[in-house]
Amino acid sequence: MKIIKMFRNFFRNIWKIIDRRIVTPLTKLVVVTSERFGNYSNKFEKWLSRSNTLLFLSLFIAIIVFVIVDQKVLLFSENSAEVLKSQPVNVTYNEEAYVVEGLPKTVDITLIGRKADLYFAKQSPSHDINVDLTGLKPGTHKVTIKYNQALPSLDYKVNPSVATVIIYPKISETKTLTYDMLNQDSLDSKLVVKDVMMENDKVVVKGAEHQLKEVATVKALIDVNNFVKQEVGITTLKDVPLKAYDERGNVVDVEIVPGKINVDVEIASPSKELPIKVIPKGTISFGLAISAIDLSETKVMVYGDEEILDKMKYVPLTVDVKGLKEDHKFKLELVKPSGVRYMSVNNVTVDVKLDQSSDKVINNVNIETRNLSESLAVQGLSAEDTKVSVTAKGVSSVINDIKVEDITAYLDLKGFGVGVHEVEVQVEGSDTRVQYVPKTKKVKIRIVKQS
User: What is the structure's pLDDT at 318?
Assistant: 94
Gyration radius (Cα) of the chain, Å = 44
The neighbouring-strand residues paired with 205 are 173, 256
Q: State how beta strands 407-412 and 358-370 pair.
A: parallel
Best CA proximity match to 425, nearest among 442, 406, 445, 444:
442
User: What is the structure's pLDDT at 7?
Assistant: 56
Report whether 189 contacts 230 (CB < 8 A). Answer: no
User: What is the structure's pLDDT at 86?
Assistant: 84
Amino acid type, 258: P
Nearest-10 crossing angle of helices 2-18, 51-77: 130
CB atoms inside a 10 Å sphere around CB 370? 11
Rounded-to-integer distance, Cα 256 and Cα 260, Å? 9
Rounded-to-integer distance, Cα 2 and Cα 188, Å? 57
Rounded-to-integer distance, Cα 319 and Cα 118, Å? 78
User: What is the structure's pLDDT at 75?
Assistant: 46
**pLDDT tens digits, the chain, 451 residues: what are they?**
555 565 566 666 666 666 666 656 666 665 566 566 555 556 655 655 565 665 666 667 766 665 555 554 444 445 677 788 888 888 888 888 999 998 898 888 888 877 767 776 676 655 578 888 888 899 999 988 888 766 677 777 888 888 899 999 999 999 999 999 999 889 999 999 999 999 989 999 999 999 999 999 999 999 999 998 889 999 999 999 999 999 999 999 999 999 999 999 999 999 999 999 999 998 899 999 999 999 999 999 999 988 899 999 999 999 999 999 999 999 999 999 988 999 999 999 999 999 999 999 999 999 999 998 888 999 888 888 889 999 999 999 999 989 999 999 999 999 899 999 999 999 999 899 999 999 999 999 999 998 7
User: What is the structure's pLDDT at 74?
Assistant: 45
Give the side-chain half-sphere CA count within 13 A for 268.
12
**H or E element, residue 43:** helix 41-49
From the centroid of its chain, how far is CA 267?
21
User: What is the structure's pLDDT at 71?
Assistant: 53
pTM: 0.61
Q: How do the residues of the chain divide into helix, strand and coil, expressed in percent and rounded to 5?
A: 25, 50, 25
Report whether 434 contacts 408 (CB < 8 A). Answer: no
Query: Strand, helix or coil at 28?
Result: helix
Rounded-to-integer distance, Cα 278 and Cα 74, Å? 90
Amino acid type, 326: E
Q: Which residues contact 351 (CB under 8 A, 6 or more apart)?
A: 292, 293, 294, 295, 327, 328, 329, 330
User: What is the structure's pLDDT at 380?
Assistant: 82
With 0-12 / 13-18 / 19 or more C-beta atoms within 10 angstroms meaning exposed / middle / buried, residue 220 is buried
